[in-house]
Amino acid sequence: MACQRWQVCWSSGEYNTLRALLEQAAKENQLRCPYCSFADTQVIDSRESDDGAVIRRRRKCPQCNGRFTTYERAEAAQFMVVKKDGRREPFSRDKLTRNTLKALEKRPVPQELVERFLQRVEQRLYELGKSEVSSREIGQLVLEGLKELDPVAYVRFASVYMGVSDLEALQQVIHQLMVQQQSYAHPSTRRDSG
């Protein structure tokens, strides 16, 4: 490819590589399917909330036929999180992700499931439709989900984020876990001490 205007001349191989990279980047920008990570999901329904602040889109994945919902919300309309000490900060998905991943560290939970779980928590928070949500409410939502996702993560999360009043409930869960472990015990199962 001869070129006068550009200082750098691309060989056709380089050009193809670059084009592939750009196409890849464009795909990354699209919303990936939470079930199979396929990039080209289709919008099948789109609805605005009454005040127009939130757009809810139903999407369908052509690869696995999975359906999921996304919520688009203007940054300014995002809800605030009221912390235990009364301070407020904008809801951060990153923070939610970090805290959840901490509890799931080294646990054998597939990434897609974690991603799906986080998306569900986030959706439920938006569906509350409140301008302020307490950090405790968020914690409860995460806990509810973790209980099914991974009991060990559940206990970790509860012990870090929940208050003393939950300790009794926590003890019950630990007890249940021990009973489960005993009944599920199998010679080929690798023991996880974490």
Binding site for Zn ion (CB under 5 A): 33, 35-36, 38, 61, 63-64, 66
**Nearer to Zn ion among residue 64 and residue 160 (C-beta):** 64
**Nearer to Zn ion among residue 33 and residue 104 (C-beta):** 33
To Zn ion, the closest distance from the beta carbon of 80 in angstroms equals 33
Amino acid at 77: A
Helix axes 151-161, 93-103, angle to 10 degrees: 120
To Zn ion, the closest distance from the beta carbon of 33 in angstroms equals 3
To Zn ion, the closest distance from the beta carbon of 34 in angstroms equals 8
Those residues with Cβ within 8 angstroms of residue 108's Cβ, 6 or more apart along the chain or in another chain: 192
To Zn ion, the closest distance from the beta carbon of 113 in angstroms equals 14
**Nearer to Zn ion among residue 10 and residue 35 (C-beta):** 35
Amino acid at 141: L
**Nearer to Zn ion among residue 60 and residue 107 (C-beta):** 60
Specify burial of residue 138 (Cβ count, 10 A radius: 0-12, 13-18, 19+): buried
**Nearer to Zn ion among residue 62 and residue 90 (C-beta):** 62
Kindly state the tokens that stand for 152: 């060990």
To Zn ion, the closest distance from the beta carbon of 32 in angstroms equals 8
Q: How far apart are CA 147 and CA 180, in angstroms?
A: 13
**Nearer to Zn ion among residue 117 and residue 161 (C-beta):** 117
To Zn ion, the closest distance from the beta carbon of 59 in angstroms equals 10
The number of residues making up the chain comes to 194
